[in-house]
Structures are given as structure tokens and as C-alpha cells.
Amino acid sequence: EEQQIEQTLHDSVKRQMEKNQREYFLNEKMKVIQRELSDMNGGAEDDVAEIEKRLAEADLPEHVRKKAESEFRKLKAMQPASSEAAVVRNYIEAILDTPWNKASKVSINLSKAQEILDADHYGLDDVKDRIVEYLAVQSRVKKLKGPILCLVGPPGVGKTSLGESVAKATGREFVRMALGGVRDEAEIRGHRRTYIGAMPGKIVQSLTKVGVKNPLFLLDEIDKMAQDYRGDPASALLEVLDPSQNSKFNDHYLDLDLDLSEVMFICTANSMNIPEALLDRMEVIRLPGYTEDEKVNIAERYLVPKAMKNNGLRAKELTVHEEAIRDIVQRYTREAGVRSLEREVSKIARKVVKEAVSKKSKNLQIDVNSANLPDYLGPHKFDFGMAEDEAQVGRVNGLAWTSVGGELLTIEVAAVKGKGKFITTGSLGDVMKESITAAMTVVRTRADELGIESTRFEETDVHVHLPEGATPKDGPSAGLALTTALVSAFTGIPIRPDIAMTGETSLGGRAMRIGGLKEKLLAAHRGGIKLVFIPQDNVRDLSEIPDNVKEGLEIKAVKSIDEILPLALTSMPEALVKAPIVKAVDEGKKAARH
């Protein structure tokens, strides 16, 4: 009996030893094979060891570590050379490269931040104040969510470069993401791992590039995003730009919650043509165009030194006088920003360099003033000032607000004998066509007061034209200008050429509030206009207008078209009856005498 038990134990131990030896032999054999394959495939086994080391050292949130370790166990069980192993390895590396807990130290020195912002950009006080306010709050609140600002303004006013300055002032890393033409939601959120060649979205990629979780993220040209069958990227940004949601941003590739609440987002746009839900999540700061004096100041402080440095000119070799810069602003550029101004200044610098090189002169000193400016830039491209033009019948200066700033908008109306037809040309939108119809009704209701026979409307064809026909035009703010032009056309009385006006009109002739007043007044100031009519309801917006613009323009706030006509027309028509508009003129004359 004992002998049988001993034999059984002996056989069991022997079988176990043989099994262990076999496993050991196979494991060693597998290691040798893997080593051979590793040498052939560029050290795949070394990669696994390196990933294991990185995973052990990485500072990861608990839920991220669990996922990474789970994927790593899968990786170890896979053939290193297989395509599945490459997919898993890339995923783990993406997790390890993402800055889950690493943050840069943010500066909260208010005076230094203000100094940096002022040194890099002239004006733009609203944005600077908002940034300094944020830093002030941050000095008292430890866990503060980053603000989400949207800078809206015409091209060339410094929106993108301001983002870099803010990053420098706050001590953050800077990331720029261009959204112009982006039409695929996966650009923002990434592709799911089931797709071949899947990658994280641009948000995660950008954070990986800078290596911290609290950079300044500039979303450039957010109004230029498109959408198609692949999804709507604007909707994908809703989660990114919502302070209450972005602490758990989920990238499709990582499929893990990433905290974006410490990121400072700044968006830029040329217009407010942004989905409403997205706009609601951002604090909009408008950057209007620069005034003439601001442009001259910017050119002297930034553009001329920059052009000289970029073109290898020494300090004494080129002097551009203030009068020359003002001439460039007035007669060679017509823009809200300073991009064209920078190009013209660079053109002068290049010509001076060419002169210095061709003459081989070491002591070259060039002074550019108004007199010799055409030698460098050629003849004037624009005529500054419209007050020199003669008064014309049916022609008035309106004021438009576009994505590139304010513009002077010429409106022409011709009344010719016909059968009461109404013609509009100049690429006019539906709202503007309706505005013309409303203006026509205003004129018809005042026909007797304006000395217009009621039969004239049935016997006259009216043609309304806005020059530059290739440019689409829309909006209601030309109502007062259209009414004035129609009155001039029907009465044959010319309109003063040095005036401009903006404002919507009601059927009763009341001047109604409009938007973009600052941009429009800047355009009037640039165009040499002397008198501008604005609706009474827009008086509150005058506080935003620079003092030098208000000093250079006579701004008259009006309640109705009846206050405009006596001042805009070179003379008033003789009324068929004693009407309110004539009484208003008489009362105005009496008040002036007293």
C-alpha cells in the first residue's frame, strides 16, 4: 500500500516537472523568436519595455491609468509585429503623451502683464482690461476656469497677434488652431479607433504639442467653419467652449474624459456669422477699425521699425516722416486694419535697400516725406475726401458696415418719365429692396409737403442703383439715405456732397437705431465727410467713438427724415401746402435767430 502511494507521488511530481520544463523551454524559445523578430522589426520588444517604463513613471488620473494598463496587458499578449499591436501601442503612446496633470505656472503680475500688452499692441483697451481683470481674480481664486473670449473685428486689426501677446502676458504656452474651411467634426474630436489610421482630434494634438494642460488656445477664424455630410464642427466646439462641460471633454480616439477647464480659449472672427449656440458660450469683444491717428501711431511705433529690421536697414538709413505716413493712410490704403499699411511701408524699405545696394553707399540717409512719397509708392490709389465733389441730384453718401469695417456707400437714384416702374440694380439683397420700398412710401406720404405732384409717381420710372455692382449689399440701415436720394430725384434739388447718413426709416419717416456706428463713423472720417446724420437712439453709442473722430466730424442726431432734408438738400422745395416739414424748417430758423 505504501509503495503504491509513493509511486503515485513520484509519477505526479515527475509529470509536473516535465510540464514546467516544457513551459520554460517554450517560453525561452518564444523569447528567442521574439528577439529575432524584434531585430528584424526595429526593436519592437524594446518599445514595449519603454512603454512599460513610461507607464510606471507617468502621472495619470486613476481612470486613465486603469485604461492604459488594461491596454498594455493586451499589448504584451500580442505578436509585436502584428498590425493590432501597432494600433494598441499608438493608443497607449497617445495616452502617455497627453498632459493630464502637467500645467505651466501662470503669471499673475498685473503690472507686467499690462506692460507686455501695451508694448505689443496700440489701443484695444477693452481686451486688455478684460485680461488684466482675469489675472486679478486669479490672484485670489486658486481654481479659476479660463475665460472664453471672442474677438470680432475686421482683418488687420491685430486679433491673432493679440492672442500671442496675451499668452506672453499670462505666462501660458500658445497654441493656434486655424478653423477656416474646417468641415469635419473629427478634426475637433478625433476619429474612433475602429478606423484605420485613426488619430486624436486637433484639441488633444495641440495639447500634446505644448505638453501642458493650461495653454492659451487661439481658435482662429471661427466664423469661417463649414459643415457637410461629415458633421458640423461648430457643434463639436459647443462642448469645448462650455465652461460647465469642458472639464470632461471626450475625444473619440482616446475615449477618456480630459479636463479643458484650465485652458484659456480666445476665438477670432471677422463677423458675427457664428452659430447662436456657440456665440452664447463666448464673451464677445468687438475690435473696430483704427482711426487715422491710431494708424499713424502704429506705423511709427511698430510697422516702420519692423520693416527696417526685416529688410536689413540700420536706424539712420531710413526716416519716414509723419506726414508721409498720414499720406499713405489717406491715399494709398483704404482699410479698417493696418495690413495694407504694413505692405506699403515694407515696399518703401525694399526700395531703399535696393538703392543702397546699387549705389554701394555705406552712409545712405533717406528721408521719405509727402513730396517724394510717389517716387516710392507710385501715384495715389485713392482720393482722400469727398467734399470736393459737386452737389448732384439723386446722389447721396450712405454708410455701410461690412466684415472688413465701415465703408462709404454711394446711393444713386434717377427719376425719368415713364409709367411708374421701379428698377433696382447693384446686387441688392431682399432687406435692402424692402428698405427702398419703405423709403418710397415715406416720400409719397410727404408729396404735398415736398412740392411733388401726386401724378408724378405714376408718370415716372425710378431707378435705384448702388455702384460696385459685383459687391452684394443688404441691410436696412440705408433707409434715411434712400429717402433723401428719392426726394432729391423727384424735386431735382441736389444733395450736399460733404454729408453722409445712416439709419433705418419707418413708414412714418422716423429714424430707427442701427448697428456698427463706430465703424461707420470711422469710414466717414476717413472719407473726408463733414456732417453725418445718425438716429437719435444711437446717441448712447457715441461714448465709444474716439475724441479725434468726434472733433473731425459734425455728428447730428435726428428723430426723423424731416430734420435731415433741410440740411442735406442745397435748398428746400416749395410745398404745395403748408406742411409739418416746412413748419419744422421755419421753427428751426426762428430758434437759430434767438
Q: Which residues are catalytic?
A: 477, 520
Burial of 493 (0-12, 13-18, 19+ CB in 10 A): buried
- Report the relative pairing of strands 460-465 and 405-417 from DSSP bridges: antiparallel
**Neighbour-count burial of 417, counting CB atoms closer than 10 A to its CB (0-12 exposed, 13-18 middle, 19+ buried):** exposed
Three-state helix/strand/coil letters over 22-77: HHHHHHHHHHHHHHHHHHHCCCHHHHHHHHHHHHHHCCCCHHHHHHHHHHHHHHHH
Measure the CA–CA gap between 583 and 149, rounded to whole angstroms.
51
**Nearest-CA neighbor of 341 among 316, 307, 318?**
307
Helices (H) and strands (E) in the chain, counts: 23, 18
**What whole-number distance in Å separates Cα of residue 188 and Cα of residue 134?**
27
Q: Are strands 249-250 and 257-258 parallel, antiparallel or unpaired?
A: antiparallel
> Going by C-beta distance under 8 Å and a sequence separation of 6 or more, which residues neighbour residue 322?
296, 300
**What letters, b where the CB count within 10 A reaches 16 and e where it falls short, cover 315-332?**
eebbebeeebbbbbbbbb
Q: 527 φ, ψ to 5°?
A: -85, 5
Grid cell at residue 255 = 475615449
> What separation in angstroms does the CA of 147 have from each of 133, 150, 222, 393, 400?
11, 10, 16, 53, 32
Q: Say how many residues make up the chain.
A: 594
**CA dihedral of 423, 428, 432, 436, whole degrees rounded to 10:** -10
Strands (E) in 385-530, as ranges, are 395-402, 405-417, 422-425, 460-465, 499-501, 504-505, 511-512
DSSP H stretches of helix in 226-286: 233-240, 276-279
Q: What angle do CA 506, 512, 513 make, to 5 degrees?
A: 155
What distance in Å separates the CA atoms of residue 415 and residue 422, rounded to the nearest whole number?
Answer: 10
Q: Which residues contact 438 (CB under 8 A, 6 or more apart)?
A: 479, 505, 506, 507
Q: What's phi and psi for 458, nearest 5 deg?
A: -80, -20
From the list 555, 572, 420, the residue with the least C-alpha distance to 484 is 572
| Element (DSSP H or E) covering residue 216 | strand 216-220
Kindly tell me the burial class for residue 450, based on how many C-beta atoms sit within 10 Å of its own C-beta (0-12, 13-18, 19 or more): buried
d(CA 430, CA 11) in angstroms, rounded, equals 98
First to last CA, the chain: 141
CB atoms within 10 A of CB 195: 12
CA distance 131 to 125: 10
SS3 587: helix
